[in-house]
């Protein structure tokens, strides 16, 4: 029986950033070896050990494939697939659950922490002119009324 665990999620993140975070995450996994990389759309790795024999240990040796799809701008679809390398797997549902709860949730929670909030993406950028305080000489914004460094009234 071929066992494969898949998960995908779309993120408010550039494809390059999603790729870099995922690659770094994989490099930090115990016993992970990067096998193939197509920058920035695909990563394949092997991870785990063959010492467990129950088929439900999250560290069971597996092949991990991560695909990245640019959905335009700063939106990326990340699809991850894990499949065991061994042929004799016991308790398949427990294996799938432990990989989903351990492997996938860890990666996607990490990706969500670096995700760009929508409110930050579309905020207009204003060009503020930088001035200097006439008293202390520190840099201040053009709209500053009282210098935050020395407390002098700028008006």
The reply to whether 116 and 134 lie within a common domain is no
Burial 122-139 (b: 16+ CB within 10 A, else e): eeeeeeeeeeebeeeeee
The reply to whether 42 and 88 lie within a common domain is yes
- Which pLDDT belongs to residue 14? 92
The reply to whether 147 and 111 lie within a common domain is no
Which of the pair, 90 or 100, is modelled with greater confidence? 100
The reply to whether 102 and 153 lie within a common domain is no
pLDDT digits (tens, 9 = 90+) for 34-52: 999 999 999 999 988 765 5
Burial 61-91 (b: 16+ CB within 10 A, else e): bbbbbbebeeeeebbbebebbbebeeeebee
Determine the structural domain holding residue 77 and report its residue range. Answer: 5-120
C-alpha triplet 3, 17, 35: angle, nearest 5°: 45
- Which pLDDT belongs to residue 119? 47
pLDDT of residue 33 exceeding 60, the answer is yes
The reply to whether 48 and 74 lie within a common domain is yes
Write the CATH number for 63.
3.30.530.20
The reply to whether 24 and 59 lie within a common domain is yes
C-alpha triplet 41, 69, 28: angle, nearest 5°: 50
pLDDT digits (tens, 9 = 90+) for 116-137: 665 444 444 445 566 778 888 8
Q: How far apart are CA 47 and CA 63, in angstroms?
A: 7
pLDDT of residue 84 exceeding 80, the answer is yes
pLDDT of residue 98 exceeding 60, the answer is yes
- The least confident of 97-111, 117-131, 140-154 is 117-131
Task: Please give the share of the chain, as a percent, with pLDDT higher than 90.
Answer: 31
Q: 68: which 2 tokens?
A: 């990245």
Average pLDDT, the chain: 79
| H-assigned helices in the chain | 15-27, 92-99, 105-113, 118-121
The reply to whether 62 and 138 lie within a common domain is no
The reply to whether 57 and 132 lie within a common domain is no
The reply to whether 152 and 81 lie within a common domain is no
Q: How far apart are CA 33 and CA 99, in angstroms?
A: 18
pTM of whole model > 0.85? no
- Which pLDDT belongs to residue 60? 72
Domain tally, the chain? 2
- Which pLDDT belongs to residue 121? 46
């Amino acid at each position: 029986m071929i066992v494969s665990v898949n998960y995908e999620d779309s993120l408010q993140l550039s494809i390059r950033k999603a790729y870099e975070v995922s690659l770094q995450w994989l490099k930090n996994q115990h016993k992970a070896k990067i096998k193939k990389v197509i920058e920035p759309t695909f990563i394949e790795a092997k991870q785990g050990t063959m010492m467990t024999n129950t088929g439900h240990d999250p560290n069971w040796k597996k092949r991990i494939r991560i695909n990245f799809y640019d959905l335009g701008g700063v939106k990326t679809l990340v699809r991850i697939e894990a499949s065991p390398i061994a042929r004799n797997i016991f308790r398949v549902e427990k294996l799938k659950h432990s990989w989903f709860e351990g492997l996938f949730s860890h990666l996607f929670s990490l990706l969500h922490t670096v995700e760009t909030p929508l409110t930050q993406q579309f905020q207009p950028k204003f060009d503020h002119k930088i001035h200097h305080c006439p008293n202390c000489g520190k840099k201040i914004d053009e709209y500053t009324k009282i210098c935050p460094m020395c407390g002098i009234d700028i008006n």
